[in-house]
Structure 1
Amino acid sequence: MKIVVIGCTHAGTAATIQMAKRYPDAEITVYERNDNISFLSCGIALHVGGVVQNAEELFYAHPDTLAELGVNTRMRHDVLAVDTVYKTVTVRNLETEEVLVDSYDKLVVTTGSWPIVPQMPGMDLDRVLLCKNYAHAQTIIEKAATAKRITVVGAGYIGVELVEAFHQLGKSVTLIDNTPRVMFKYLDKAFTDIVEADMKERGVRLALGQTVTALEGLEGKVARVVTTEGAYDSDLVILCIGFRPNTDLLKGQVMMLPNGAIVVDEFMRTSCPDVYAAGDSCAIRYNPTGKAAYIPLATNAVRMGTLVAMNIMEPRVKYMGTQGTSGIRMFDLNIASTGMTEQAAVDAGLKIRTTTVSDNYRPEFMPTYERALVKLVYEADGGRLLGAQVLSKADLTQSANTLSVCIQNRMTVEELGFVDFFFQPHYNKPWNLLNQAGLQAAAELEAEKAGTIAGA
């Protein structure tokens, strides 16, 4: 059995390591255009801010790791074309420029994603940077050392984490986004209001609801960011607008979403026989809606890559889908979300209700305690959980993992109200915050139903 893997970050690394262990007789070849694998881009801001001093610690595997498992590891090799009919890949050795053609019995496509790069004046100026890989991280640190005014474009997780890192380095920071709120995709307004107030209090300049139209320079270096609402002087600009799947190699050969994300079934198989895909190059089943969605997260990638290895010889283990669960620490705030926000549910045309609980996370007789905010999003008819958000200065982010399981198992808010959670004054109250939120939501649903019946 001859297996070719294209791309080796999270999904590719997971798939390759597991296949090498499971199928020692298989001939496995990995083609990776970079000289490294498994870089945790989510740690770039930690490296920029000095929390992680050594960027090498952000790699959890090395090409030698694969080679020791018997994998033909071809670093600095760029796959130019894939022929799924004749089962071949055309590859260029980036060191020698030699072009070769290799064959496969099974193909694993884990080509990942790449930052969205806007087409606008000034993109070729010096000190306009992307934020994705190891090389980007090193360049950001190098350029930031001499920059006083830094603008981050994109207020998603990567953008706001960079804002925090630059602020801690004493830089003057501006954050621009075309949405009206920071972390718009992950949190509703009650949560982002808290985050934005904290950022403003610390001196971060927020330019929200604005679209960047041009970058202006001086002597070849970026000097100003121009938006639909104004202009911002900048010595360094980091673009964190979002990501697109790297799937041109299979265009026209497998089913894809309109954005190019490869559609896979529950066993990670594409629509083309013997071609598997995983990670940021793929669409994935989003459990709140049951539909395919593009959710590029490292957690999804390693799960999908592992499933490729388990299913590549025969379909054995089904993927359970995702809730897009994520968490972030922003200055003193610990934040996590899972499933749909209220805004996302409304945009999807769903009939929903929401419940928000604000309470101290543990008893007031304890020496210290912090306020916590929990929000549930659920179906108006029946109360099935669709999403949740958690915020506190106390680290309650693991609650989002619990709520993720609830959404995956299609639980209702009433069932959440009676889930068995322990009580210990160091950690919570007799009625856990999640119990409280579930019970309050169930009561609101019941009251609404009673009102409807009475009105009838």
Structure 2
Amino acid sequence: MKVIIIGCTHAGTAAAINTSKLYKDAKITVYERNDTISFLSCGIALYVGGVIKDVKGLFYSSPEHLKSLGVDTKMQHEVLDVDFDKKEVSVKDLKTGKEFTDSYDKLIITTGSWPILPKIEGFNLKNILLSKNYYHANDIIEKVKEVQNVVVVGAGYIGVELVEAFREKGKNVTLIDTQERILSKYLDKEFTDIAEEELKKHDINLALSQTVVRFEGEDGKVKRVITDKGEYDADVVIVCVGFKPSTEMFKGKLNMLSNGAIIVDEYMRTSREDVFAAGDCAAVWYNPTKSYEYIPLATNAVRMGTLAARNLVDRSIKWRGTQGTSGIKIYDYNIASTGLIEEVAKQKGLNIQSVTIEDNYRPEFMPTYEKAKLKVVYESDTGRILGSQILSKHDLTPLMNTMSVFIQNGMTIEDLAFTDFFFQPHFNKPWNLLNIAGLNAI
């Protein structure tokens, strides 16, 4: 069995490793256009901020590792086209310029995603940077060293983590976003209000509800960011407004969402026989809405890559769907969410209710304790849980993993009220915070 894998970040690496373990007779070839694989881009802010000293720690595999597993890893090779009828790929060796074709029995597409590049005047000025891969991380560190004014465009997870890292380095930092709140896809207002206040306390300038209209420069380098409401000095600009699937070559050939994310079934199979897709290039089944969505997360990618490998020959293990569970640390606050927030649920026209509680996470007779804010969103008629959020200075983010299980299994707010959780004063109260939210709701 000849297996070709296109792309080798999270999903591709998982697919290659698992394919090599499961099918000892398989001839596995990976085509990767870069010269690195398996880079954890979620660690860029930690690297920029100096928390991670050695960037090598952000790589969890290598071409040498894959080679030791019997995988023929061809770095700096770009797949130019795929002929699904002939089961052939057209490839270019970027080092030599040579082009050739290769055939497959099974194809796994893991081409990933790329930052959205907004069409803004002056975008081609120097020191306007992206934040996605290893080279971007090094570029950011190098360019920021000798400057003082840094502007980040995009207040998602990457943007928020970067502004904190830059501020810790003593830079003057501005965060711009068209939305009126930071992290507006992941948290409701009562949570982002706290996070925004924390950023402001650390002298980070928030320029929200503003759209960048142009970048201005001097001597070919960016010097100012002009929005529809103001202007901001900028020696370096990081643009991180979101990602799009890298699937241009497959348009019109595979079933996709409108943004180009490849639709796969529960076994990671695309609309063409013997062709699988996984990771940021693919759509995912989103359990809260029971629909296909685009949610580019490393956690989704490694699961999908693993399942693509396991289902190459037989339909063995189904994809359970995702809740988009994620977390972030903003200074002293530990924050996480899973599933739908209330605002998004209402935008989708869902009939929902929510319950929010504030309580200390463990008994007040303990030497120390911290307040926690927890919210649960659920369907009005069925009680089915759709989403949850938590914020505390104590790390309670694992509770969102528990809530993810509730959503994945279609459990209700009543289930939440009476699920058996342990009690021990070091860790919690007789009624767990999750129980309390359920009890308050019913």
**TM-score range for the pair, normalised by the shorter chain length:** over 0.9
Residue 232 (1) aligns with residue 236 (2) = no
In 1, the alpha carbon distance for the partners of 2:328 and 2:200 equals 18
Trace 1:59-138 onto structure 2 (pairs within 5 A). 59-138=59-138
- CA–CA distance in structure 1, aligned partners of residues 229 and 383 of structure 2: 42
What is the Cα deviation at residue 228 of structure 1? 1.1
Distance 1:327 1:118 in 2: 26
Corresponding letter in the other structure for 1:380: S
Structure 1 residue 363 corresponds to structure 2 residue 377 = no
- Gapped regions of structure 2 (runs ≥ 5): none
For 1:184-195, list aligned pairs within 5 A.
184-195=184-195
Give the aligned residue type for 1:70: G
SS at match of 1:316: coil
Residue 430 of structure 1 is matched in structure 2 by 430
Q: Equivalences for 1:38-437 in 2 at 5 Å? A: 38-437=38-437
- For 2:51 and 2:173, the matched residues in 1 are separated by 19
Tell me, in whole angstroms, the C-alpha distance in 2 between the residues paired with 1:214 and 1:67: 46
Letter aligned with residue 331 of structure 1: Y
Q: Give the Å deviation of 1:222.
A: 0.4
Letter of the structure 1 residue corresponding to residue 278 of structure 2: A
Query: Separation in 2 of the partners of 1:434 and 1:172?
Result: 40
Percent identity for Structure 1 against Structure 2: 61
Amino acid of the structure 2 residue aligned with 1:34: N
Distance in 2 between residues matched to 1:329 and 1:266, nearest whole Å: 33
Q: Which amino acid aligns with 1:155?
A: A
| Corresponding letter in the other structure for 1:423 | F
SS at match of 1:335: strand
1:9 aligns to 2:22 (yes or no): no
SS at match of 2:158: helix
Letter in 1 for 2:40: L
Is 260-269 or 410-419 further displaced after alignment?
A: 410-419
Q: After superposition, what is the alpha-carbon deviation per residue over 1:53-112, rounded to whole angstroms, capped at 9, x for unaligned?
A: 111100000111111111111000011111111111111101001001111111100000
Write the deviation string for residues 114-141 of structure 1: whole angstroms up to 9, x where unpaired: 0000111111111000000000000000
The secondary structure found in structure 2 opposite 1:256 is coil
Matched length: 442
State the Cα distance separating 1:382 from its structure 2 match.
2.1
Which string of whole-angstrom CA distances, capped at 9 and with x for unpartnered residues, describes residues 180-236 of structure 1? 100000000000000001111110000001111110001111000011111111111
Query: Partner of 2:200: helix, strand, or coil?
Result: helix
3-state secondary structure, aligned to 1:198: helix
Q: What TM-score do you get using the length of structure 1 for normalisation?
A: 0.96
Distance 1:150 1:128 in 2: 10
* 1: CA distance, partners of 2:202 / 2:105: 56
CA displacement, residues 263-302 of structure 1 (integer Å, 9 cap, x when unaligned): 0000000001110000000000000011000000000000
1:31 corresponds to: 31
Shift in Å at residue 24 of structure 1? 1.3
The whole-number CA distance in structure 1 between the counterparts of 2:345 and 2:121 is: 36
Match of 1:450 in 2: none
Structure 1 runs not aligned, ≥5 long: 443-456
Letter in 2 for 1:16: A
Residue 452 (structure 1) aligns with? none
Shift of 1:426: 1.1
Shift of 1:150: 0.4
Q: Please give the alpha-carbon distance, in whole angstroms, between the structure 2 residues aligned to 1:335 and 1:85.
A: 48
Aligned residue type for 1:390 = I
Return structure 1 stretches of 4+ with deviation > 3 angstroms: none
Partner secondary structure for residue 182 of structure 2: coil
- After superposition, the CA RMSD in angstroms is 0.6
What SS class does the counterpart of residue 61 from structure 1 fall into? coil
Q: Which amino acid aligns with 1:158?
A: I
SS of the counterpart of 1:264? coil
Give a deviation string over 1:369-390, Cα, whole Å, max 9, x none. 1110000000011211000000
For each residue in 1:350-387, what CA deviation from the matched residue of structure 2 results, as whole angstroms up to 9, or x when unmatched?
00001000011111111111110000000011211000
Counterpart-to-counterpart distance in 2, 1:313 and 1:380:
42
CA shift, 1:303, in A, is 0.2
Mapped partners of 2:289, 2:338: distance in 1? 13
Shift of 1:25: 0.6
- Distance of 1:344 and 1:322 partners within structure 2: 16
TM-score by length of structure 2 reads 0.99
Q: Which amino acid in structure 1 is aligned with residue 42 of structure 2?
A: C
SS of the residue corresponding to residue 100 of structure 1 reads strand
